[in-house]
Amino acid sequence: MKCLITGGNVKVLGKAVHSLSRIGDELYLEPLKDGLSLRTVNSSRSAYACFLFVPLFFQQYQAASPGQDLLRCKILMKSFLSVFRSLAMVEKTVEKCCISLSSSNSHLVVQLHCKYGVKKTHNLSFQDCESLQAVFNPALCPHLLRAPARVLAEAVLSFPPALTEVTLGIGHGRRVILRSYQEEEADSTNKAMVTETSIGEEDFQQLHAPEGIAVTFCLKEFRGLLSFAESANLPLTVHFDVPGRPVIFTIEDSLLDSHFVLATLLEQDPCSQDLCSPNPCQPVPQKQAHSIPHLDDFTNDDIDCYMIAMETTVGSEGSRAQPSTSLPPVSQPSHDLVPPSEEEEEEAEPSTVPGTPPPKKFRSLFFGSILAPVHSPQGPSPVLAEDSDGEG
């Protein structure tokens, strides 16, 4: 694989990497016939992001050498991010960027051609990997809103940097409400502060959602996506359903496609249930354990209503269209297809990462490994992942 990026597109690539770094610690890079794909997923499988840069984005693009198979690799996010650490310097000094990946070389080579003939070469170690692909279909989400990224970016400016989750909903008069979400804590009744931003329907290019609907998701990843969309001057489309189902953010342009899939809270907080009420509500005490309706019991849940599937496949996707696979109900969790490394990760005690959902409130996304031939007629087989005590 070899590609050459020139002009302002180098900064666009750097911005995309910065957005992905807010989600995962590993970057999956895969050259496809349809373009270069950059993907990541967080450790709890509750957030997934993908950028696909089409061949027209590059001055030169070659997915594979003649007679060679398409390659794919996984590298540490912080290693690739270090190449584009300072976007201001990239914009001022870098004239073009060359990225190459070869099976005969153990490194992903990123070379920056700067002003005055200066060349900076980065040799990044990588691992061979399977293709990371989330199974989702924005068209199946009944609710949609679309607006310039600037509108939503300005709306979240009022939220404190330490805020973890935000609630998005439709309030009285079909105004779009963004409200800070506070985790229920018995000792914080008199300390919690709720911040709310209201946006008129006229500021949206599309708005198809009923009054009273609301979903809560992580603000950290949302801010990263907004930063990219605003810098690229592109509109952002939000596809969502009932609480507990994932919210899907999409950016589409002639040169790139982007999809961010974030898990949402299963249980909506009281403040979000009545978005039409002008009076702020008080946090309620933490519910007792016996009142929670079997959140950890997969056999008693409608899996198709609360989950999204994620899989890894050996074959190339080959198409920019998203698959429309839906998940059938299952009788019991199965880990047969999860690689040993994934099982060990599930068993290990996860650590708490800033900007992630509170414990036991978000469903972990499905994640598995499918080692099937490309020509196999069978569809992807979803694999259940247990609730995560960390990011999940």
Q: What is the pLDDT along the chain (392 residues), one digit of tens a residue?
A: 899 999 899 999 999 999 999 999 999 999 999 999 999 999 888 999 999 999 999 999 998 877 777 788 899 999 999 999 899 999 999 999 999 987 777 789 999 999 999 999 999 988 877 777 777 889 899 999 999 999 999 999 989 988 999 999 999 999 999 999 877 654 555 556 888 999 999 999 999 999 999 999 999 999 999 999 999 999 999 999 999 999 999 999 999 999 999 999 986 555 555 564 544 444 433 433 333 333 333 333 333 333 334 444 434 444 443 433 333 333 333 333 233 344 444 444 444 444 444 444 554 454 333 333 334 344 443 433 344 444 43
Q: Is 15 exposed, middle or buried (CB count within 10 Å of its CB: 0-12, 13-18, 19+)?
A: buried
Task: Round to whole Å and give the CA distance between 196 and 279.
Answer: 11
| Cβ neighbours around 148 below 10 Å, total | 17
Domain 2-128 bears CATH identifier 3.70.10.10: yes
CA distance 283 to 183: 8
Check if CATH label 3.70.10.10 holds for domain 138-184+193-265.
yes
Which pLDDT does position 320 carry in this prediction? 44
Q: Would you list the domain boundaries of the chain?
A: 2-128, 138-184+193-265
Cβ atoms < 10 Å from Cβ of 77: 18
